Each structure stands twice: as C-alpha cells, then as structure tokens.
A and B are shown apart, each in its own frame.
Chain A
Amino acid sequence: MATLLIVDDEVDICEIVEDTFKQEKGFVVLKAFNGPDGVDLAKAHHPDVILLDIKLYGFMDGIEVLGEIKRYLPKCKVIIITGFSDNVTENETKNLGAFSYLEKPFNPPQIVEIVKEALQKKWSEESG
C-alpha cells in the first residue's frame, strides 16, 4: 500500500486526484486544503508521495510547506503542481529537493504516471 497526500486549496482538484487514485489499486489518498494541515498530515502519516500546490491560500505557501516536509521526511517524494510560476520559483523548489514539477492542467493518466515514477524511485532508493 502506498500513501499519497495532496495539498491544494482548490477542493475540486483534490477530489479529482482522489478519484483518480481510487481506481488505481494500492493507494491511500489523504487531502489537505491548506499548508499547515498538509504539514500536520504529512508528519502523522508519513506519505510516500506528496502532490503540492505552490500558491496556497493562508499562512503558508507551497515553498514553506516543501521546506518543512523535507526537514521532517527527507525521503518523501514531493511533486509540485502549479498553475503559473516563473523560473525563479521553479529553481527554488528544485533546490529544496522537489522530485518533479507538473503544470496544471493535467489529465488523470499524466498524474498517475508521474506518481508511479516517484514511487519506483523511492522504493529503489530504499532497497538499494
């Protein structure tokens, strides 16, 4: 069983991601609609992969969440999903250790492919 956490203030996006992975076998999907909730859930459940939006409503933005998560769960794979960002932000997430970067809008097969890739990377790191 792999655990997946999605952090996005857009509820509809969280739900479509949850729908998508319910159809795939072997996934538990957790949802958080803001930064602090995302960090709390991550600390409590140690997800394998996190899908993280950059522009989050509220106290923490995606960059801060990413920093926090990487501090507690360095092995966790974080995939950035974003509507618009400049090269500076893109570089920043990379330097903070994000696994990859996906522009919105994406369709279900795309997100499944990327998440599986991240999982494989993680498992191969753990076994190797």
Chain B
Amino acid sequence: MTILPSHHYQFSALLTALASLSLVVLVYRKGVNQRLKRQFVFYYASLFVWSLSVFVCTSVYDYRISYFFNQSTHAAAIMIPVFFLHFTLVYLGRLKNMIEKVVLLFFYLSALFFELVVIFFSDLFFSGIEPKLSFPLFPTAGVLYTPWVATFTAAVMIAHLILFLELLSSKGVRKKQIAFFLIANLLGYTGGIGCFLPVYNIPYFPFPYGPYGVLLLSLVSGYTILKHRFIDLEILIKKTIIFGTLFAAIFAIFSFLLLIFQGFLSHYMSSNPFLQTAVSILVIVLIYDPLRKLLIDVTDRYLFQKRYDYKKLLKDAAAGISQIKSLNQLLSLVIHFITMRVRVRNASILVHDEGNNYFKLAYYRGYSKSGWLKAGHIFNEDDFLIQYLNQERTSLDIDRLKEMLERDQSKEQKRDQNNRYNYKAIKNRMDELQAACCVPSFLGNKLLGILVLGEKKSGDYYSDEDLAVLFTIAQESAIAIENARLYDEAIHRSEQLEIKSNELQAKSDELLGKTVELGRKNVELEYKKEELQAKSNQLQSKTDELEAINKKMEETQSELLRALNETELTNKRLKETQTQLLQEKKRALLAGISAAVGHEIRNPLTPMIGHTYFLIKRIEEAQKLYYESLAVKLTEPERQRFLSTFSELHSRFSAMQKLEDRIKGIVSTLINLVKERTGKKEEVQLYLVIQAALEEVRFQTYWESLTIPEIIVDIPPDLPFISGITQDLQGVFVNLIINSLHALENKMNKEIKIQGQLDENNPKIIKIDFSDNGSGIPKELQEKIFEHGFTTKGEKGTGIGLFYCKDNIERIHEGSLNVRSEPGVGTCFTIRLPIYDGPSKTSGGLADYGNTAHR
C-alpha cells in the first residue's frame, strides 16, 4: 500500500474539519465579545465546511455526489478570504473609515457573484470533474476560476498586510496574539496554494501537502486562544481539557504514521496481515509511554506558565518581612522581592494613611516614564479601584477587568443595580498606575495597603495560582506593615519631640539674652532717674512677659514628658501585636478541637466510672457474703480458689478505676489548657502542661533566633496530679524555659532538664527540678531575680518573667519556688506544688459555683 495524494487530502481535511469545528463550538459557546465572536465563528465555520467537503469529494466515486461536494467546497472557499478579512478588521478595531468599508463591501459583492456562479452556472467555474492525480474525481479550472483565484489572493494579501502593519505598532500581549494569528494564516494560505494547483493540473510541491497547512492554521489558532486568550472566553481552560485534546490530536497523527509503517512493512515482508499487526502493536507498546511523557512535558512547557516553588516563595517572603522594622525598608523589600520573583516590569505599593483616611503611593519601582507618578501621591478612599478592592476582598487583574468591562458594555441597555462598580474608571486608574494586577492587603477587616503589579516581563498572564499566592503574601505582609507603621510613628514622634526640645532651648537662650539686656537697662535706669517712672513701667511689662514665657516653658516641658510616655506605650504595643495575633488564632483552633474531644470522651467515661465503682462494691459485698455463708461449707483448696479469685477481681477493677481517673485527669488538662482562665484549681497533669508550654515557647520565640535544644522531661507516669490552674502553670513553665534559653544563648551543648517526683520530706507535695547548664546567676543577683522590674537582658527583657513565676506559685498555688545557681555551671529552679486530693469543699465544682470573684 502506498500513500497517494488523495490519502493526504482525506486525512488532513478530516482533521482540519474536526479542529475548526471544535474552535467554532468553543468560541460560540464561551466567547465574550459578541461582534468578534460572530466573525470568528463565520471564518472558522467556512473553514469547517470547506475541509469537510474536500474530505467527501476526494473520497467518493459517485459522480453526482462528488459534483455536489465540489460545489460546496468552492461555495465555502469563496467565503473564506472574505470572512478572514472581515474578522481581521473587526479584531483590529478597524472598519471605521470609508475606504476599509468600501473594500470589504467589494469583496462581499464579488463573493456573492461567485457564489451565484458556483450554484447556478457551475460550468463556468470548473469545466468538469474527472479522475486525475489519484483522486477519484477532481475538478479542472473553468473560465471564471482564475478571476476568482485573483480576488481570493487579493483579499488574503490585504488581510495579511493589515495584520503585519498592526504587528509592528502593537506591543505586549496583543503583539503576541497578532503574531500567532499572522503565522497561523501564513501557514494556512501557503498550504492553500497547494490546493489550487491540481485544479490547473500542476502536480508540484506544495501539492499534495497543502491541506496540512490549513490544519496548522486551525491548530495554531486554537493554541493562541488557549494560551494567549486571543478570543476572550468566559471559562478558564483546565489543563485536562487541553491535554486531552492534544493527546487525541497527536494520537491521530501517530496512528496515521503507524498506518504508513504498516504499508511500508508490507512491501518487504510477505503480506501476512497477522504478522504486520503484531509488529505494529509492538511499535505502539514501545512508543506509547515515551510519547505520553513527552506530551506532558511539552504541555507543561508551552501551555502553562512556569511553576514557582510557591511554598518556598512564601517562606522566603515571611522570613524577610518579619525582620524589617522600618516601613520604607519593608516596602522596598516587598516590592523588590515581587519584581524579582514574579518577574514583573513595575510594581508599587499604596499604603493607607491612618490619620487622613487616604491611600498614599508609598513605594514604586520599575516605572519607565513616571511622569506624574511620584512617592506621596494621594488616592482618596472613595477611589473606584480602592472601593472595589475593599468590598470584593480579592485581587483584580487587568484581563478579568477587561472581561467585566466588555460584559458591562454588552449589557448597557439593561443596566441595572448589578453594575455596582464603574469598571471604566477602575480601568483608567489601573492604566495610570501601569498595573496589570492589584492585590489588596487586609489586617482583620481593614484595607491596609494595595500591591500594584505591572505586566510580567514574560508577557504571561496572571494565573489564578499567581493571584492566590500574591494574595497570601499580601496578607502576610499586612501584619509586618502594621508593625512597621507603628515603629515609624514612634520614631517620627521622638523626632518631633527633639525638635520641640531644641525650640525650648532656643527660647531659653533668648530669655537669657533678654535678661542680660534688662540688666543693662536697669543700670541705665540708675543713671537716668528722671526717666525712672516711665522706664520702670516698661520694665514691669517686660517682667510680666518673662514670667509668661517661663510658664509656657514649664507647660511645654510637661507636654514633653507626656509625649515621651506615649512613645514608650506605642513601642510596647508594637511588640505585643504580633505574638498576640498568632496566639489567638492557635487558641481558637485548639478550643474547638478540645471541646469536641472532651465531650466525646467524657460522656462514655461517666457510666464507665460508675460501673467500675459498683463492681468494686459488689465484689466487696460478695466477699462478705462468702465469709458469712459459703466459706464454712467448702474444703480448704476450694476456699483458696475463691479467695484468690476475689482478690484478683478486686485488684483488676481497682487498677481499672485508677486508669479511668488518669483518663479523666488528662482530658480535663487538655480542656483547661485552652479554656479561658477561670481561677479554679483542678487536677493538673504535669507532663501535659510542660508539653503545652513547649509549644507556646516555640510560638513566642519564633521571631528571635533562639534555638530550642532537646528538653529532657523526666516525669514518672504514675506521678499524682497537681492541684492548680493549668493556664497559670503553663505560663510559669513558658517563662522558665524562655529564661533558660536566653541563659544558654552562647553555649555549645545546651541542656534543659525537667524532673518531677514526690517530695522526699512530704508525700503530699510534688517537687519539680528545672535545671539548665547555662551561664548561671552570680551570687549577689540571686536574691534580686524575683524582684519586679529586674532584668539582665537590657531592652529585650521586661523584668516581670520570674517575678510572675514566684508570685503565681507562692501566692496562688500555695507552693514554693527557689533557685540554686553556680555561675558557669548552671541554674536549677525548684518548684513545690500540692497534690490534688479530690474535689474538696474548697476547690471542687460545687462550692465554687456561683462565686464569680475569681473571674
């Protein structure tokens, strides 16, 4: 079997028909812009009719059918160049001046003329159809065929020329779209030449490969639509759809190659169809998997944007921004980070100004001609763009906006309340900012800033994934930005205070000068006694003035003190915001989980405890009954067996009771860890409290570069519960651990050890040794460390950590906290706490109930 020209025609025409039909259906159903959509559908529908007709008329032997499809082939072919030209004009937004309209009208009229010829006077169009060049039946050019080819060529040339000129003057995404569309059509019409040749009986290249060019036209157009949004569609194309389509296409080509291969084999081998099929199957099996992998690779490379390692991107971002204190520095970092990582041309940040309720352009980078754009430019809160971001709470990219704008325009007649936003104004604002994407940054419900990103350097679009990651980064930076803003505010305030203080100094100097002058005048007065009265009056008024100024100076000084206090307060607030925010989130989550766990475990535990209680009671009763009535009737060995059974039952159920108590304690510890502090003493499992404290330490030291060493916790599992307030004890351990971590900061082999045991002197007390091998505490300081406000950590310390521990353990828990330390060897804190001995009258649920004094 050899491949004949007619086979190429059939195969490629069929594929072209499929491809163009898919494009027509896709764009017709999901297209956004009505006018563009219509012209596109006309163009590719004519391609579809043409290719389907070519397929049929090169396949059939029946004269009448072939003749009819020859007519339909040409009826479609006549429309192709005209629709192509029309679509090109509409797509480029032309068709506004008279000349273009006239030209288009001319081609439509000539197309109408040739259509009439093909339908009613087809003899003039082709002189007949006959078997030639391996085609069963094929037409030969008639009188009017050549004039038609001329108009065809003219229309195609004009369209290409217009596209080419537009390509030169456009840029960015549009340039890419036009380039792809131009290439697609160049390929298509170059191949198209091959389709005219056999009509004139010229069997030279590109015959018989012409129709492949037209197939490429459809495929490249499809690629342009999917990858570069050549025609705006309402849907986002899923990877699987593209993959499926591509796979089908390539598989079709693949099977075709296989067919050739099979034909080729039959030349050299005895024509045993089974053997040929077997070899073909082998080839399929060998090639299938590599082909699939190649396909996945290719789709990833060309159809989808490069994937960033998003997790890393986020981690880097968070690590960077948390350490920067100054707002300007922070903003520059965020912008720099995003321009480098996401590779955008330009970016800027608008930051909300607390005092004035407007947004200020705080930082920008990469703008080619900034013009009016400069730092400090102000945008009002009711700016359309800002309103949109504030209300929608999502990112906005320019392509989505354009889509909404177009939809908006197409619905202009029935404009209703759905159109809440002035998209046109938003677009203008984004164009001004040279923005391709705006990402809002919220702290709680407050819009704090807007990240404005320009076009990507690659010209790619912002994918949904991009937007999601950017949104997350923006929220992460919100906390940092707020902190930096508070910090800057504090700096700014202290600068102002300095200025005020300088002013006061100047004023005081001035006063001094005035006093000297007054003195001199006084001396003068001595000599000029006759002017005394007048001068004395003058002097009096000057003295009054002096007093007034003095008073003012005092006032300013007290103002200075007040402002200084305020600065300190702001600084403190700054430190607290971050940790608080994180902890609240963590607690809310834990509270939910613990509530569910607590409920689900405590409910079945209640009857279980009851059953065990009664079992033990019954066993005791049974034993009593046995002694009273049964024992005397039994032999000694039987008696022994009874007794051992009783004691085994008793000891097993007692063990169970202890285990139930343990579960009870653990669950209540878990729940209390997350419950709001009630001030009620309950049974506390020490081990769990320490674990919880460790978790909290990890949170609290997250921003400091403290490494947490392995902490050895040595607490026997059968250690009784402590009577205490879980949250408080957790806090004590958190303080002790952080304290030790600071003491261990410069140490090589860090070690923290927590040991719990019964106090050897008092079995109702649990003793906990908390020791580290840190720098230790000098003797003279050991007494001071528990004092309020004492710290050795400079600005880092607050001076309340150990004070809180001592106070809480001794005053609230009625325990004790002591320290032993040797400088250079380490420190050991010893905590003593009372054992929990059941819900007594003073600490149980009943008596405390209704007593709100604790809260």
Q: Which residues of A contact B (CB under 8 A)?
A: 10, 12-13, 15-17, 19-20, 55, 83-84, 86-87, 91, 94, 100-110, 114, 117
Q: Does B140 contact A (CB under 8 A)?
A: no
Q: Does B664 contact A (CB under 8 A)?
A: yes
Which residues of chain A are near B678, meaning CB under 8 Å?
87
A106-B609 in contact given A84-B671, A94-B849 (Cβ < 8 Å) = yes
Contact present for A100 and B846 (CB under 8 Å):
yes
Q: Does B604 contact A (CB under 8 A)?
A: yes
A20-B602 in contact given A94-B850, A114-B846 (Cβ < 8 Å) = no
Cross-interface CB contact of B606 among A55, A91, A106, A109, cutoff 8 Å? A106
A84-B846 in contact given A10-B606, A104-B606, A106-B606 (Cβ < 8 Å) = no
Q: Does B794 contact A (CB under 8 A)?
A: no
Contact present for A110 and B603 (CB under 8 Å):
no
Which residues of chain A are near B366, meaning CB under 8 Å?
none
Contact present for B607 and A12 (CB under 8 Å):
yes
A16-B605 in contact given A87-B855, A100-B849 (Cβ < 8 Å) = no
Contact present for A87 and B606 (CB under 8 Å):
no
Contact present for B603 and A13 (CB under 8 Å):
yes
Please name the residue on chain A nearest to B855 by beta carbon: A87
Please name the residue on chain A nearest to B605 by beta carbon: A105
Which residues of chain B are near A20, meaning CB under 8 Å?
610, 614
Distance from B727 Cβ to chain A, minimum over Cβ atoms (Å): 13
Which residues of chain A are near B599, meaning CB under 8 Å?
55, 83-84
- Provide 28 A-B residue pairs closer than 8 Å at the C-beta atoms, listed in order of the A residue: A10-B603, A10-B604, A12-B607, A13-B607, A16-B606, A16-B607, A16-B610, A20-B610, A83-B600, A83-B603, A84-B598, A86-B675, A87-B675, A87-B676, A87-B855, A91-B852, A100-B845, A100-B846, A100-B849, A100-B850, A101-B845, A102-B845, A103-B602, A105-B606, A105-B660, A107-B610, A109-B613, A110-B839
Q: Does B377 contact A (CB under 8 A)?
A: no
User: Which residue among B598, B603, B605 has the maximum number of chain A CB atoms within 10 Å of its CB?
Assistant: B603
Which residues of chain A are near B600, meaning CB under 8 Å?
83
Cross-interface CB contact of B676 among A86, A101, A103, A106, cutoff 8 Å? A86
Contact present for B598 and A108 (CB under 8 Å):
no
Q: Interface SS of chain B: helix, strand, loop or mixed?
A: helix
CA distance A106 to B604 in the complex (A): 11
Please name the residue on chain A nearest to B596 by beta carbon: A84
A104-B610 in contact given A87-B678, A94-B850, A114-B846 (Cβ < 8 Å) = no
Which residues of chain B are near A117, meaning CB under 8 Å?
846
CA distance A44 to B206 in the complex (A): 100
Q: Which residues of B contact A (CB under 8 A)?
A: 594-595, 598-611, 613-614, 660, 664, 668, 671, 675-676, 678, 839, 845-846, 849-850, 852, 855
CA distance A114 to B844 in the complex (A): 11
Please name the residue on chain B nearest to A9 by beta carbon: B603
Please name the residue on chain B nearest to A98 by beta carbon: B849
CA distance A60 to B648 in the complex (A): 46
Which residues of chain A are near B602, meaning CB under 8 Å?
83-84, 103-105
Which residues of chain A are near B855, meaning CB under 8 Å?
87
Contact present for A19 and B846 (CB under 8 Å):
no
Please name the residue on chain A nearest to B675 by beta carbon: A86
Which residues of chain A are near B614, meaning CB under 8 Å?
19-20, 108
Please name the residue on chain B nearest to A93 by beta carbon: B849
* CB-CB nearest 10 A-B residue pairs: A16-B610, A12-B607, A83-B602, A84-B598, A83-B599, A105-B606, A105-B605, A16-B607, A104-B602, A100-B849
CA distance A105 to B661 in the complex (A): 9
A19-B603 in contact given A83-B598, A103-B668, A117-B846 (Cβ < 8 Å) = no
CA distance A90 to B523 in the complex (A): 84
Contact present for A13 and B839 (CB under 8 Å):
no
Which residues of chain A are near B607, meaning CB under 8 Å?
10, 12-13, 15-16
Distance from A88 Cβ to chain B, minimum over Cβ atoms (Å): 9
Q: A12-B606, A13-B607, A100-B850 are in contact. List 14 more A-B contacts (CB 8 A).
A: A10-B606, A10-B607, A17-B610, A20-B610, A55-B599, A83-B602, A84-B594, A84-B671, A91-B852, A100-B846, A100-B849, A104-B605, A105-B602, A106-B606
User: Which residue among B594, B610, B671, B839 has the maximum number of chain A CB atoms within 10 Å of its CB?
Assistant: B610
Contact present for A108 and B606 (CB under 8 Å):
no
Distance from A61 Cβ to chain B, minimum over Cβ atoms (Å): 13
User: Which residue among B600, B676, B845 has the maximum number of chain A CB atoms within 10 Å of its CB?
Assistant: B845
User: Which residue among B602, B613, B614 has the maximum number of chain A CB atoms within 10 Å of its CB?
Assistant: B602
Distance from A52 Cβ to chain B, minimum over Cβ atoms (Å): 14
Cross-interface CB contact of A102 among B601, B611, B675, B846, cutoff 8 Å? B846
Contact present for B613 and A104 (CB under 8 Å):
no
A101-B849 in contact given A10-B603, A10-B606, A84-B594 (Cβ < 8 Å) = yes
A19-B610 in contact given A100-B845, A105-B605 (Cβ < 8 Å) = yes
Please name the residue on chain A nearest to B597 by beta carbon: A84
Which residues of chain B are near A16, meaning CB under 8 Å?
606-607, 610-611
CA distance A103 to B676 in the complex (A): 16
CA distance A99 to B507 in the complex (A): 72
CA distance A109 to B609 in the complex (A): 11
CA distance A98 to B610 in the complex (A): 24
Which residues of chain A are near B676, meaning CB under 8 Å?
86-87
Which residues of chain A are near B671, meaning CB under 8 Å?
84
CA distance A78 to B301 in the complex (A): 71
Distance from B797 Cβ to chain A, minimum over Cβ atoms (Å): 33
Distance from B748 Cβ to chain A, minimum over Cβ atoms (Å): 46
Distance from B605 Cβ to chain A, minimum over Cβ atoms (Å): 4
Which residues of chain A are near B850, meaning CB under 8 Å?
94, 100
Distance from A115 Cβ to chain B, minimum over Cβ atoms (Å): 11
Distance from B647 Cβ to chain A, minimum over Cβ atoms (Å): 23
Distance from B360 Cβ to chain A, minimum over Cβ atoms (Å): 42
CA distance A108 to B675 in the complex (A): 26
CA distance A109 to B614 in the complex (A): 11
CA distance A101 to B850 in the complex (A): 9
Which residues of chain A are near B675, meaning CB under 8 Å?
86-87
Please name the residue on chain A nearest to B612 by beta carbon: A107
Cross-interface CB contact of B595 among A84, A106, A107, cutoff 8 Å? A84
Distance from A100 Cβ to chain B, minimum over Cβ atoms (Å): 5
User: Which residue among B599, B604, B849, B850 has the maximum number of chain A CB atoms within 10 Å of its CB?
Assistant: B849
Distance from A85 Cβ to chain B, minimum over Cβ atoms (Å): 8
Which residues of chain A are near B598, meaning CB under 8 Å?
83-84
CA distance A105 to B598 in the complex (A): 10
Which residues of chain A are near B605, meaning CB under 8 Å?
104-105
Which residues of chain B are near A91, meaning CB under 8 Å?
852
